[in-house]
Amino acid sequence: MTFREINSKMVEATVAPGQRLFSQRGAMLAYKGDVSFTPNVQGGQGGLMSMIGRRVAGEATPLMTVEGSGTVFFGHGGHHVHVITLAGDTLYVEADRLLAFEGTLRQGTMFMGSQGGVMGMVRGQVTGQGLFTTTLQGQGSVAVMAHGGVFEIPVTPQRPVHVDPQAYVAHHGDVRNKLSTALGWRDMVGRGSGEAFQLELSGNGTVYVQASEEKL
């Protein structure tokens, strides 16, 4: 495993020659050995088209490439860090939550509308994710940031999980998400419970939830 959690807010990553890491710009805290940090014009992997795609989608976070041999320590903004290991499946995560990820992972951008049509777009707006989200696919690990600690909730076909859109961090696996609304007349007169929108995740996989309703 490339990433090792040192404490709740800091991860250690080992870089070896021929092995690249991508990380958010300015998230390096310290390093040992011979490591170079190159700003990434394209904001990630893929060719020019995926760069344009990311720009259009507003998923272009400033990234840098980390290469060389040594140990790098990452942390950012006092946010909690959680390491997720992927074994061939796809992680759906917001681009600005990415602290660092291995170069072996394939980065892509997904249109929220492609999962659930119009309702998916509405959901993207409500959750503050926008209409697009970033996907990471392949073998490797990702360090994800969250406000407050992160916990995983397994999603099974029998037990769908409801998550507050603001507390949602990421999910992976074969999970369908839809926005469930519990709007009633009380919300119309401003006496709602404040929990009118929920993200309902069903299928087979894991959802990561942060212990706070504050967005990054």
- Would you tell me which residues interact with other proteins (CB under 8 A)? 6-10, 25-32, 36-41, 62, 64, 73, 75-79
Identify which of residues 7 and 158 has a Cβ nearer to other proteins in the complex.
7
DSSP 97: G
**What value, to the nearest 5°, has the Cα angle with vertex 149 and ends 146 and 154?**
90
Identify which of residues 42 and 137 has a Cβ nearer to other proteins in the complex.
42
CB 4 within 8 A of CB 11: yes
Identify which of residues 41 and 49 has a Cβ nearer to other proteins in the complex.
41
Identify which of residues 19 and 135 has a Cβ nearer to other proteins in the complex.
19
C-beta atoms surrounding 61 within 10 Å: 18
Residue 189: what residue type? V
DSSP 159: B
Identify which of residues 40 and 90 has a Cβ nearer to other proteins in the complex.
40
Contacts 24+ apart (CB under 8 A), 54-57: 54/95, 54/109, 57/109, 57/111, 57/130, 57/131, 57/132
What's the gap between Cα 188 and its chain centre?
33
- CA 148, CA 114: separation in Å to the nearest integer? 30
